[in-house]
């Protein structure tokens, strides 16, 4: 009978003969071949039978090689424990393993077991002092605390979640404290994400409580930013006074804007976060730059929460200063070029001598004389 499963393994896939089938069902009376609803993809079925109990519906994998060797008790495993079948093929049948190389060599029980910390540190638990030291070291390490601190570092330093899979980093952890490996405290990127999301949810309730207790209004700032991997994000920062009247600032949202950056779309993200933190009745002023879509978004926010948006919109002074300085730099450079040309064309020696003593010779002097002139005029 030809095999239904192609393989790249150097171990030939056993051919199932009629004699093998008869022996199989002599050992498993009341069982039949499984009526599959699709192709079985696990590689272990190349070396085993897929059978089911006719009445109970239970499915098992039975080793075809054991059947061929006429073992009185061929190995069989429930379909939910096929990793045991992998271990059996590797251990009992000359190292047979996944021919695609996608799965690692099954580890033996002795390889999975880690040495206790007493053995690693060469301490004798029969000696009272060393026994106390061992117990102290064991009690001082908390797997949950370790993982929490690891996630805090990843988030605060903006590391990739996959950094936890770095073997060099894991070696450092194990060098500093063998309990990391002994207790299997190393985690995966999926777990890091889950812990970070859990902590965010827990912290949200504390932030909500702080906002509810704030004695004044809550003021909002938001602006767009494009990440290095081209995600359009909007950072939303809120400024408020806590219950002790101290100024506080926190980032309460970093939504991704997947649609066009219109004022309506921006406002939709802001409205969602305001409602999520339940502060629609405590809104204060909004500090934004003077982009057109920000104007539209303020109009939408005013309609949604019933306030005069023109009176609540505070222009970002940093943005205004940046624009004015950029403009003044451009004009100063142009005027300086005009003065240079004038000095070259003029026959008056005083014009040439004063070129480096002009009000626009440098930005600091130019700004100084502008301020001095304003003081005289006003």
Mean pLDDT for 362-378 is 50
10, 77, 82, 7: which is closest to 46 by C-alpha? Answer: 7
* 231 or 192, which is more confident: 192
DSSP result, 145-214: HHHHHHHHHHHHTT--GGGGG-HHHHHHHHHH-THHHHTT----HHHHHHHHHHHHHHHHHHHHHHHHT-
Write out pLDDT tens, residues 55-75.
Answer: 887 889 999 999 999 898 899
Q: Is the pTM of this model over 0.75?
A: no
Please report, for the chain, the start and end positions of each structural domain, with discontinuous segments joined by +.
18-109, 117-192, 216-309, 319-377
Q: How far apart are CA 80 and CA 60, in angstroms?
A: 9
Q: How far apart are CA 39 and CA 82, in angstroms?
A: 16
Cβ(219)–Cβ(229) below 8 Å: no
Cβ(274)–Cβ(280) below 8 Å: yes
Kind of pairing between the strands at 76-78 and 283-288 = unpaired
**What is the pLDDT at residue 11?**
65
Q: Taking the mean position of all CA atoms in its chain, how far away is CA 65?
A: 45
Question: Which element (helix H / strand E) includes 328?
Answer: helix 317-345
% of the chain beyond a pLDDT of 90: 14
Write out pLDDT tens, residues 311-362.
Answer: 888 877 666 666 666 666 666 677 677 777 777 776 766 655 555 544 444 4
Q: Which residues contact 182 (CB under 8 A, 6 or more apart)?
A: 114, 115, 116, 117
Cβ(187)–Cβ(165) below 8 Å: no
Q: How far apart are CA 328 and CA 230, in angstroms?
A: 32
Mean pLDDT for all residues in the chain: 79
Question: Which element (helix H / strand E) includes 330?
Answer: helix 317-345
């Amino acid at each position: 009978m030809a095999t239904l499963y192609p393989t790249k393994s150097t171990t030939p896939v056993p051919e199932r003969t009629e004699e093998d089938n008869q022996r199989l069902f002599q050992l498993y009376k009341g069982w039949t071949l499984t009526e599959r609803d699709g192709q079985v993809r696990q590689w272990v079925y190349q070396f085993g039978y897929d059978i089911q109990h006719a009445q109970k519906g239970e499915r098992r994998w039975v080793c075809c090689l054991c059947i061929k060797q006429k073992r009185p008790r061929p190995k069989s495993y429930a379909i939910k424990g096929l990793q045991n079948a992998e271990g059996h093929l590797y251990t009992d049948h000359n190292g047979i393993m996944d021919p695609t190389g996608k799965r690692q060599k099954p580890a033996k029980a002795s390889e999975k077991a880690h040495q206790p910390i007493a053995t690693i540190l060469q301490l004798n638990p029969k000696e009272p002092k060393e026994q106390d030291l061992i117990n102290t070291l064991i009690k001082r390490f908390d797997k949950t605390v370790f993982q929490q601190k690891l996630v805090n570092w990843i988030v605060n330093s903006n590391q990739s979640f996959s950094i936890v899979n770095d073997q060099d980093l894991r070696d450092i952890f194990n060098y500093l404290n063998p309990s990391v490996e002994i207790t299997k405290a190393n985690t995966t990127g999926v777990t890091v994400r889950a812990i970070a999301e859990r902590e965010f949810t827990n912290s949200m309730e504390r932030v909500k409580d702080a906002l509810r207790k704030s004695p004044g209004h809550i003021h909002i700032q938001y602006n767009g930013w494009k990440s290095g991997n081209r995600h359009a994000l909007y950072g939303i920062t809120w400024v408020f006074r806590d219950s002790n009247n101290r100024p506080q600032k926190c980032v309460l949202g970093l939504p991704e804007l997947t649609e066009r950056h219109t004022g309506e779309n921006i406002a939709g993200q802001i409205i969602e976060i305001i409602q999520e933190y339940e502060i629609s009745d405590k809104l204060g002023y909004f500090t934004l730059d003077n982009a057109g879509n920000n104007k539209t978004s303020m109009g939408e926010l005013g309609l949604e929460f019933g306030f005069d948006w023109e009176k609540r919109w505070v222009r970002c002074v940093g943005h205004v200063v940046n624009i004015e300085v950029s403009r003044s730099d451009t004009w100063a450079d142009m005027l300086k070029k005009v003065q240079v040309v004038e000095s070259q064309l003029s026959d008056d020696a005083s014009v040439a001598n004063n070129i480096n003593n002009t009000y626009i010779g440098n930005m600091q002097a130019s700004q100084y004389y502008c301020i001095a002139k304003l003081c005289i005029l006003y």
